[in-house]
Amino acid sequence: MTKMIGQRAIASLLSLLGLMILVFFLSRLTGDPAVLFLPIDATEQMKEEFRALHGLDRPIIEQFGAYVWDLLHLDFGDSLRKARPAIDVVLEAYTWTLPLALITMALVMVAAIVLGALAAFKVGGFFDRLVSIVSLVGASAPDFWIAIVAIVIFSINFGWLPTSGVGTPLHWVLPIAVLFIRPFGLIVQVVRGSMLSALGAAYVKTARAKGVKNRPLIFVHTLRNAMLPVITVMGDQAAALLNGAVIVETIFGFPGIGKLMIDSILQRDFNVVLTAIMVTAIAIFIMNILIDIAYGVLDPRIRQ
């Protein structure tokens, strides 16, 4: 298992390097920051001084080399917009996104596992059909559409919830609810399908013949063996929460990493864009390695 984790770590580092190169050069295609940050009536000399101050007057290959050298010394550069280290700006935004993602994923895991397992146990019944319909609709609906509809219904029409900000717990309700729907729909379907396969196994029939009650049969005997494909989807959806947060945080004015990425791209704050994407990618790679470790815990064959 150690060898497998090492291979995944090397592959992740190579992917991270490729992502860094791609984002660095693509971000430079968005335009000249001097035009955006300086006044409209700024002279060409002022623009040249701005570019020289931030190293934007050098050839792009030279800029990339300087960026990599600084990165090797754990220097992510400064934010053009906030005149602060880019890593501080990104980590500050993550203090909002991580609680949002963790709360959402915790709710998704509990609800999806319980409802998916019960739906599989009562396959073909009313509860199974209801859960299947709700999950399919949730998995198919786009986040931005759900967010807009939620604002219209719960904020504008009824006035129950605020449309943006983070001042009170009520400000968190709509972002969490919108981010909850898609991963819940997908994971419920996977849990249900995996549980159906596990419930048909010989050991389950033996447990039933021995008089094991339904609750321990579902959540003790069957669920553990059904969890491997579920863990894979959970890891993918946890990573997708960060991507989905880009849209949802922007719509709800939530000051997390998603909104920061959009604002930084529009404002050509290159260092913040690169740092945000790099930190997010590292978090996703670490998550994938943790999933591999969880595989080994659940299935001893993988540890060999």
Segments of the chain scoring below 50 in pLDDT: none
Task: Judge whether 131 lies within some domain.
Answer: yes
Domain that holds residue 120: 86-303
pLDDT, tens only, 76-115 = 888 888 878 889 999 988 888 888 888 998 999 889 888 8
Give domain status of residue 273, yes or no: yes
Does 62 map to a domain? no
CA angle 270, 100, 179 (to 5 degrees): 95
In a domain, 76, yes or no: no
Q: What pLDDT, on the 0 to 100 scale, is given for residue 152?
A: 92
Task: Identify the pLDDT of residue 299.
Answer: 61
Q: How far, in Å, CA of 38 to CA of 223, rounded?
A: 60
Q: Cα(55)–Cα(77) distance, rounded to whole angstroms?
A: 11
Alpha carbon distance 166, 255 (integer Å): 8
Domain membership of residue 9 (yes or no) is: no
Q: How many domains, the chain?
A: 1
Dist CA 116 CA 124 (whole Å): 13
* Beta carbons of 8 and 289 less than 8 angstroms apart: yes
The CATH number of the domain holding residue 227 is 1.10.3720.10
Position 49 scores a pLDDT of 81
Please give the pLDDT value at position 226.
Answer: 72
Residue 105 lies in a domain: yes
- Estimate the crossing angle of helix 270-298 against helix 257-266, to 10 degrees: 150
Q: Does 237 fall in a domain?
A: yes
Q: Can you state the angle between helices 170-199 and 86-121, rounded to 10 degrees?
A: 40
How far apart are alpha carbons 262 and 19 in whole angstroms?
A: 18
Both tokens assigned to 100: 């949002």
Rounded to two decimals, what is the model's pTM? 0.77
Q: Is residue 102 part of a domain?
A: yes
